[in-house]
């Protein structure tokens, strides 16, 4: 996480190496990583910013959000993953929509061997793949699992603070290598996107997860938000 310790580290590093920051560069490309602090202090003929998420939605310190705002103002080109973030760029001539893609080579659909830890889990299987942090709606998942006892719910990805005493048809498998994800998707029946609605979520209109599910031929069920629905009306939506 980004806290005040990061800011102190940045300041010390910059002061110790300030002579290196005077150089003029041809091109600087950055995103909302810790490197944006240094990118803001470099001179370049052309600056590009990759705008991936609503930074404010991560509850980061104000100074980090201000660093992003400063770079966007000085950037020559802003490549945004979501059209809903265009309000962050005053000069719309430098705003371009470039949704996050997926690498289809990582999602083959032939000669797939079923993962061993899935074999004993009964079908039909509903799968979620991704981080299960503050934006993950555990309540919705537990409610659905309790009301669909004949379905198995497969949860794959890093997580924190899952509810105690999960229903027996929820299988919390943990993190898996990205190159293995297609195997789990191939042997499941429905892709699930159970997010808590917040500005972080509702400012996404091209979530990668739906592309990964579709690539493996899965129907997708998701909580409804307008920006997502406009781009993917074929998803089955529910209201929280």
Q: Do 120 and 180 form a contact (C-beta atoms < 8 A)?
A: no
Residue 134, pLDDT score: 92
| Residues pairing with 50 in the sheet | 79
Mean pLDDT, the chain, as a whole number?
91
**Residues counted in the chain:** 240
Tens of pLDDT, residue by residue over 84-97, are: 999 999 999 999 99
User: Which ranges constitute the DSSP H helices of 75-203?
Assistant: 116-119, 138-147, 181-186, 199-202
Residue 8, pLDDT score: 67
Sheet with 77-80, strands from edge to edge, namely 24-30, 43-51, 77-80, 95-97
Tens of pLDDT, residue by residue over 43-68, are: 899 999 999 999 999 888 888 899 99
Q: Is pLDDT of 13 > 80?
A: no
Spatial separation of the C-alpha atoms in residues 222 and 165, rounded to whole Å: 24
Q: Give the pLDDT band of residue 9 (cuts 50, 70, 90).
A: low
Spatial separation of the C-alpha atoms in residues 186 and 114, rounded to whole Å: 8
Query: Residue 237: what are its φ and ψ, rounded to 5°?
Result: -105, 150
What sign results for the dihedral spanned by CA atoms 99, 104, 105, 106?
Answer: positive
| Residues pairing with 220 in the sheet | 191
Cβ density class 107-145: b for 16+ within 10 Å, e for less: beeeeeeebeebeebeeebbbbbbebeebbbbebbbebb
């Amino acid at each position: 996480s980004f806290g005040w310790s990061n800011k102190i580290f940045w300041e010390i590093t910059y002061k110790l190496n300030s002579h290196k920051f005077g150089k003029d560069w041809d091109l600087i490309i950055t995103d909302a990583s810790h490197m944006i602090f240094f990118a803001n202090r470099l001179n370049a003929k052309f600056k590009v910013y990759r705008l991936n998420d609503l930074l404010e939605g991560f509850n980061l310190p104000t100074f980090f959000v201000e660093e992003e705002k400063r770079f966007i103002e000085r950037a020559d080109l802003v490549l945004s993953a979501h059209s809903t973030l265009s309000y962050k760029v005053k000069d719309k001539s430098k705003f371009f929509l470039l949704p996050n893609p997926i690498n289809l080579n990582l999602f083959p659909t032939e000669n797939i061997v079923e993962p061993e830890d899935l074999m004993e889990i009964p079908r039909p299987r509903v799968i979620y793949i991704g981080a299960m942090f503050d934006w993950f709606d555990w309540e919705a998942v537990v409610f659905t699992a309790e009301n669909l006892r004949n379905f198995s719910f497969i949860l794959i990805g890093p997580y924190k603070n899952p509810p105690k005493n999960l229903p027996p048809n929820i299988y919390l498998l943990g993190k898996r290598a990205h190159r293995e994800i297609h195997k789990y998707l191939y042997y499941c029946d429905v892709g699930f996107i159970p997010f808590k609605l917040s500005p972080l979520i509702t400012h996404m209109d091209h979530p990668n997860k739906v592309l990964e599910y579709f690539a493996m031929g899965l129907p997708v069920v998701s909580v409804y938000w307008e920006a997502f629905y406009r781009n993917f009306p074929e998803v089955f939506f529910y209201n929280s």
